[in-house]
Chains A and B, each alone.
Chain A
Amino acid sequence: SQQGEEDPQALSIQEGENATMNCSYKTSINNLQWYRQNSGRGLVHLILIRSNEREKHSGRLRVTLDTSKKSSSLLITASRAADTASYFCAAPSGGYQKVTFGTGTKLQVIP
């Protein structure tokens, strides 16, 4: 079973709109990480939020974490065409903090 599962599977928005993606996980975590993958490339780490944090900002990104619901959300404000990519969450767990990825949210930003 995946430790991080993203929702929705796909999202299509107009440039300038906000995009919200959600992530659910199963076991207790120390931190949760969001990554982006452009087509044909490897994943790029975007932001990490620790289990004792509720919200974190980085530029146009805002991440929230609700440990009681075992869920996180990634908000991209004022989206740009360059934000078109797949977004994955990852929640390290277990003895050596094994990371498993979900199937991602495929975001398309239409210019």
Chain B
Amino acid sequence: NAGVMQNPRHLVRRRGQEARLRCSPMKGHSHVYWYRQLPEEGLKFMVYLQKENIIDESGMPKERFSAEFPKEGPSILRIQQVVRGDSAAYFCASNGGSGEPQHFGDGTRLSIL
């Protein structure tokens, strides 16, 4: 009865490297959401995906950021050529349908050196 699993919990990258954040939704959930949170701030919506489809990526920067949710396997948030400003906590959530309560993972804390 596992909840939303995110890995890694902590990720350290140097400027210019790539960061890959993984999210396995709760069993039976086909809707995945990614959020970004800076210290002492709320969650900023980034992208909403269903299996193999991006539904809304309006919160995601146009460059360097991409997300996918393949038919098999976890959802991946990919950040290319990371910069210091990408340092944040990235949370994934899932639910079984839009409008339903979202179940959150414990996040990946990304630190850029």
Contact = CB atoms under 8 A, between A and B. Distances in A.
A60 to B, nearest CB: 19
Nearest to A92: B99
A42 B42 contact: no
Interface residues of B, number: 21
Contacts of B103: 45
B4 A42 contact: yes
Interface string A76-108: 000000000000101010001111111110000
A44 B93 CA distance: 10
B1 interface: no
A96 B42 contact: no
B65 interface: no
Interface string B26-48: 00000001010000011101001
B75 to A, nearest CB: 15
B4 A30 contact: no
B102 A96 contact: no
Contacts of B12: none
Nearest to B99: A97
Contacts of A2: 42
B91 interface: yes
Contacts of A99: 33, 45, 102
B43 A101 contact: yes
A45 B56 contact: no
Nearest to B59: A100
Interface of B: 4, 33, 35, 41-43, 45, 48, 55-56, 91, 93, 98-99, 101-107
